[in-house]
Amino acid sequence: MSAGASARRPTTDAATSARMARQRRSGTKPELALRRELHRRGLRYFVDRAPLPGQRRRADLVFPRLRVAVYVDGCFWHRCPQHATDPKNNAEWWAQKLLGNVERDRATDSALAAAGWQVIRVWEHEDAVTAANRVQTVIEAGR
């Protein structure tokens, strides 16, 4: 096997492929709940936008004038300390994939902080009102 072969996505059965294809990148239920709550409070934001010019990594909510970026992270994809699970099929590939997601999150946080942004990370399992309270506190402190 070549060196690059281990990095390739493993083959999966049709049911697993279909389930993974249904995973939304943006507009998830937890994200929509947070957006509704923030909007109800009169806060306005941009949706699914890169905070820094030329950056491919997009935040779920962006308050550009205040330099606040909000990410609503899925427990599986971003390795929630409470709810992370380890897939049994293709375990090594998934471990590397999920670790890469976490490393990319930390790199994004560092790049934004270095550019003067505040990053708020919300787990998908968090209550929308509680998460909105955290976001609002940061927003109000920046005004």
Class of domain 22-142: alpha beta
Position 1 scores a pLDDT of: 41
- Residue 7 in this model has a pLDDT that exceeds 80: no
Q: What does the alpha-carbon distance between residue 11 and residue 29 come to, in Å, rounded to a whole number?
A: 29
For residue 4, what pLDDT band results from cuts at 50, 70 and 90?
very low
Mean pLDDT of 13-39: 77
Contact 47, 63 (CB under 8 A): no
Average per-residue pLDDT for the chain: 88
Amino acid at 67: R
- Residue 6 in this model has a pLDDT that exceeds 70: no
**pTM for the full predicted model:** 0.82
Any idea which of 3-17, 37-51, 66-80, 106-120 has the lowest mean pLDDT?
Answer: 3-17
Q: 91-117 pLDDT, tens per residue? A: 999 999 999 999 999 999 999 999 999
Position 142 scores a pLDDT of: 87
For residue 143, what pLDDT band results from cuts at 50, 70 and 90?
confident
